[in-house]
Amino acid sequence: MNIKHLIDKNREYIINMRRYFHAHPELSFEEFETTKKIAEELDKMNIPYEINERLGTGLVGVVQGGKPGKTVALRADIDALNVTECTNLDFKSQNEGKMHACGHDAHIATLLGAAKILAGVKNELPGKVYLIFQPGEEIALGAKAMIEFGNWYEETDNIFGAHIWSPLEAGKISVEAGERMAAGDQFKITVKGVSGHGSAPHETIDAVVVASAIVMNLQTLVSRSYSPLDSVTVSVATIHSGNRFNIIAGEAVMEGTNRYFSREIEKRIKEDMIRICENTAAAYGASVTVEYTHVMKPTINDEASSLIAEEAATKISGAEALVKVEKVTGSEDFSFYLENKPGCFAFIGGKNPEVSAVYPHHSEFFNIDDEVLPEASGIYAQYAIDYLIKNSQ
């Protein structure tokens, strides 16, 4: 099934859609106008959809093939960030203090382009394709909300998603199997000691000293608790304690994040952290409470799905477009889809100095080379086609 003519046919549409959404960003779970616009575009394609009415944002479209078969889902996130844009783009943000500084505008356009391509060949498809336009990725709540919406996730056999990637050269794509993005956990540690005069430390239990010891001891999670072959980071990012130079603090509050790739580590890292915090505090006569939240799961690509993505990318962009990208310690809530379903998450290069697409994600100067998006749409569509055909035999 050759779809390259449909990619060329919809090239201008896909780029224009990216620029429209870039100019009209909305924050997480506030993507109401974005959702309406997506719905309007699907209406034009005669693709049925259902809006997540509970949230008022996000929707699931469906392309029903002309033959029976499996079900595959394609996902794009749709939210922007509270960043004031500082680019000179003709289509820069019209919503003050809001910006598509992570590339989700490109993801929306890419999936709309894929929808157009799939609609053009739907009679030949052996199965069904769900189109997931997901809100709230930046606050790590959107995937969970969409999984709970309707029965699309239960029906889905496989899922594909991608992120435009600013460090990667435009036109390149990474679809490796295995660990791709890290889990992202959040913690808050509160130390309770006994305050007192700075001249009489023996009458106190110094929360600053206890907190400092906890910070240092937590690093043994990385160096001694887990295999050196497993990547783990433990970052205490804030410490707040005390309010005057001559008062020994009786309380200290620390917050931070842990990152790792192993699902085995996910099962035990909370208990390991609590053990170190409690035992360290006890050694000083203090007490401690630990609030620990598993915010994001590790994103791990299924091997068979990665092979399908590799073949799809080769058909659309050529074998030379495929590159290897080291796993990254950033997190993605696409990981929740992969927890119980096989699938693949890809990185699509968007870096091009000629269009000032050289800045990192979340920068106020962030931009991408949107000329890569038509082929990205083709890869989305080709992945769905190839998966359905391979699994109809």
277-323 pLDDT tens trace:
999 999 999 999 999 999 999 999 999 999 999 999 999 999 999 99
Domain definitions of the chain by residue range: 4-180+298-390, 183-296
| Model pLDDT, residue 31 | 98
Residue ranges for the known binding site are 102, 104, 138, 163, 362
Q: What is the DSSP letter of 362?
A: T
151 burial type by CB count under 10 A (0-12 exposed, 13-18 middle, 19+ buried):
exposed
Is the distance from CB of 78 to CB of 108 less than 8 angstroms? yes
- From the options 2.40.50.140, 3.40.630.10, 3.30.720.120, 3.40.50.2300, give the CATH code of 4-180+298-390: 3.40.630.10
> 32 φ, ψ to 5°?
-70, -45
* Cα diameter, the chain: 83
Q: Would you give per-residue pLDDT tens digits along the chain (393 residues)?
A: 799 999 999 999 999 999 999 999 999 999 999 999 999 999 999 999 999 999 999 999 999 999 999 999 999 999 999 999 999 999 999 999 999 999 999 999 999 999 999 999 999 999 999 999 999 999 999 999 999 999 999 999 999 999 999 999 999 999 999 999 999 999 999 999 999 999 999 999 999 999 999 999 999 999 999 999 999 999 999 999 999 999 999 999 999 999 999 999 999 999 999 999 999 999 999 999 999 999 999 999 999 999 999 999 999 999 999 999 999 999 999 999 999 999 999 999 999 999 999 999 999 999 999 999 999 999 999 999 999 999 986
Q: Do domains 4-180+298-390 and 183-296 have the same CATH topology?
A: no
Could you please state the CATH topology (level 3) that the domain comprising 183-296 is classified under: Alpha-Beta Plaits (3.30.70)
| Model pLDDT, residue 189 | 98
169 burial type by CB count under 10 A (0-12 exposed, 13-18 middle, 19+ buried):
middle
Look at the block and give the residue holding tokens 């939240």: 293
| Model pLDDT, residue 1 | 79
pTM beyond 0.85: the answer is: yes
| Model pLDDT, residue 225 | 95
Residue ranges for the known binding site for Mn(2+) are 102, 104, 138, 163, 362
Rounded Cα–Cα distance for residues 347 and 360 (Å): 14
Give all strands (DSSP E) within the chain, no chain letters: 49-51, 59-64, 67-77, 126-134, 158-169, 173-174, 178-181, 183-192, 196-197, 232-241, 247-248, 251-260, 287-296, 299-301, 343-351
